């Protein structure tokens, strides 16, 4: 604090003298006093607000990205759940398809149009009947319930010789493996 009764330049001279003594005491004689910049002013309000705006913008962009990722994940989960539910419905219809197929194989009249129409509708939705006859046996697609001796496939593996119950794939995944007779 400066003394208000003292209107001369004495306080400035006193501060300068104290500074010179401090410099000498701490052996700072080679210090360039004019080069020392003292940040007497705090950051301006514009700079503070600009920095805050940048932080808010960064936060907003991160939240938008997080929300977009969440939206995509939820959409994918919903699509998977819908496919799974539809697959369960189709799986529950497989005995009906088996009955239609058996009736058609035994020459029952009037079954073929209904069976064909039902299969057509289900195929449009993603059902695929597995045609495995004379194909190499794949345990992911079929269950071998009967084995017979034979030459097998050219590479030495067993071959499906007869399909006893049709297998189905739903949207690329095996819904029900076929029951087959294998040779080899």
pLDDT of residue 29: 55
Contact 179, 163 (CB under 8 A): yes
Q: Is the pLDDT of residue 177 over 90?
A: yes
What φ, ψ does residue 39 adopt, rounded to 5°? -85, 85
pLDDT of residue 11: 53
Averaged over 142-159, what is the pLDDT? Answer: 77
pLDDT of residue 8: 47
Give the tens place of pLDDT for each residue, 20-54: 776 667 665 555 555 555 554 567 888 899 999 99
Residue 169: C-alpha distances to residues 21, 140, 162, 177 (Å): 93, 11, 18, 8
Contact 133, 162 (CB under 8 A): yes
Residue ranges per structural domain of the chain: 70-183
Averaged over 149-168, what is the pLDDT? Answer: 79
pLDDT of residue 108: 85
Q: Taking the model in full, what pTM does it have?
A: 0.58
Highest CATH level, class, for 70-183: mainly beta
Element (H, E) at 65: helix 45-105
Place of tokens 């501060």: 15
Place of tokens 């493996």: 177
Give the tens place of pLDDT for each residue, 60-115: 999 999 999 999 999 999 999 998 899 899 999 999 999 998 998 888 888 889 98
Q: HSE-up of 48 (CA within 13 Å, CB side)?
A: 4
Q: What angle do CA 1, 8, 11 make, to 5 degrees?
A: 35
Residue 46: C-alpha distances to residues 38, 43, 71, 124, 170 (Å): 20, 8, 37, 63, 62
Residue 54: exposure state from Cβ atoms within 10 A (0-12, 13-18, ≥19): exposed
Residues 6 or more apart whose CB falls under 8 angstroms from that of 170 comprise 83, 86, 87, 90, 91, 126, 127, 128
pLDDT of residue 14: 63
């Amino acid at each position: 604090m400066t003394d208000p009764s003292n209107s001369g330049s004495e306080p400035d001279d006193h501060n300068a003298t104290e500074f010179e003594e401090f410099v000498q005491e701490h052996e700072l004689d080679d210090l360039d006093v004019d080069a020392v910049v003292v940040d007497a002013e705090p950051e301006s309000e514009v700079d503070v607000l600009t920095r805050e705006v940048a932080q808010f913008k960064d936060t907003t962009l991160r939240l938008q990205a997080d929300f977009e990722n969440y939206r995509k994940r939820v959409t994918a989960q919903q699509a998977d759940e819908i496919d799974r539910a539809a697959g369960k419905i189709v799986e529950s219809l497989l005995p009906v398809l088996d009955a239609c197929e058996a009736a058609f194989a035994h020459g029952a009249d009037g079954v073929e149009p209904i069976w064909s129409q039902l299969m057509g509708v289900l195929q449009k939705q993603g059902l695929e009947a597995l045609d495995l006859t004379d194909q190499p046996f794949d345990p992911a697609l079929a269950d071998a319930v009967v084995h017979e001796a034979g030459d097998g496939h050219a590479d030495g593996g067993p071959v499906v010789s007869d399909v006893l119950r049709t297998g189905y794939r739903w949207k690329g995944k095996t819904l029900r493996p076929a029951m087959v007779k294998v040779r080899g």
